[in-house]
Amino acid sequence: MTSRTPLAVAAAAGVCAIGLGTAAPAVAAPQAQQDKAMVSLFHGVPGLDVDVYANGDELLGDFKPGTVTEPQELDAGTYDIQVFKAGSDPNGTPAIERKIEVPAGGNATVAAHLSADGTPELTAYTNDTSATDSGKARLTVRHVAAAPAVDVRAGGTPIVSDLVNPKEATTEVDAGTVSADVVLAGTDTVAIGPADLDLKSGTGTVVYAWGSADDNNLKLATQSVALAKASPNADSAGIAAGPWYAWAGAGLIAAAGALAVRGGMKWDG
């Protein structure tokens, strides 16, 4: 089946981004922007190359695990997302299927990943693009691995504790290079890492701990979220108008993390 959507999606996903409609005239841009959302996709099901369909249209073909797509501007609305093993008949039974409501004005990532017991599933996350304080960076850890609860450490000190799939935890840290690892909750037993994270001031970094502990293939993928800029005439809570978004490519390091599904994306079913 050939995609009828005008959206060209880069890289790999295990999920769905859907961009419908045509570009609006420049005069209508403010209203058009209100009706759009920015959505990226993360594919975190090991060993499964996938084809992704939205409302019956093929969006992604033969995409590989461990990768994140560039953000795409989508019309707000509800989409039926189906994920098939690459090359499978799209009229057959999908490996994963769920309906997702994409809210206007949001910035989100949809992840195809394993549940704690190893079942493939879809989870939607809202990305925080608000400005950070000067000298700070935002770090978000999302646990999308078939693995038990974990603690995430920076320089040997826990910064996130007892996190489970599919939870998320976010904190602001001093900008700089952080040596991070993931240990089994309440222990010093390293599950993944250590790995160096370069956290620049005023940036947002999302790390996805994905894979399977039983299959010994736990890995880390990273996503960089460009944040709104603080207004030079405002305090640290001020946010400059017109935030923009960009993703850094997914890197495989090692760490098992934690995810908390946040509001903004709604699942149907």
**Amino acid type, 2:** T
**Which residue in 106, 130, 152, 120 sits closest to 259, CA to CA?**
152
Cβ 245 vs Cβ 68: under 8 Å:
no
- 192-240 pLDDT, tens digit each: 999 999 999 999 999 999 999 999 999 999 999 989 987 555 443 332 3
- 153-163 pLDDT, tens digit each: 999 999 999 99
pTM above 0.85, yes or no: no
What token pair was written down for 171? 């904190």
For residue 75, give the 3-state DSSP assignment.
strand
**Which residue in 110, 71, 75, 72 sits closest to 224, CA to CA?**
71
Cβ 123 vs Cβ 104: under 8 Å:
no
Per-residue pLDDT band at 143 (split at 50, 70, 90): very high
Distance CA(211)–CA(115), nearest Å, equals 10
Per-residue pLDDT band at 79 (split at 50, 70, 90): confident
Identify the bridge partners of residue 114 per DSSP, sorted by sequence position: 120
**How confident is the model at residue 33, as a pLDDT?**
59
**Amino acid type, 159:** I
Is a pLDDT exceeding 90 seen at residue 142? Answer: yes
- 99-113 pLDDT, tens digit each: 988 889 989 999 999
Q: Can you give the residue ranges of every domain in the chain?
A: 26-268
- 23-61 pLDDT, tens digit each: 233 333 445 556 899 989 999 999 999 998 988 998 888
Task: Please state, in angstroms and as integers, the Cα–Cα distance from residue 116 to each residue in 4, 81, 166, following that order.
Answer: 35, 21, 8
Place of tokens 């502990």: 213
Distance CA(251)–CA(75), nearest Å, equals 29
**How confident is the model at residue 232, as a pLDDT?**
58
Among 13-17, 50-54, 72-76, the minimum mean pLDDT is found in 13-17
Strand 136-146 versus strand 120-126 pairing type: unpaired
Average pLDDT of the chain is 77
**Which residue in 249, 244, 245, 227 sits closest to 236, CA to CA?**
227
Residues 6+ apart with CB under 8 A from 164: 116, 143, 148, 149, 258
Distance CA(174)–CA(89), nearest Å, equals 49
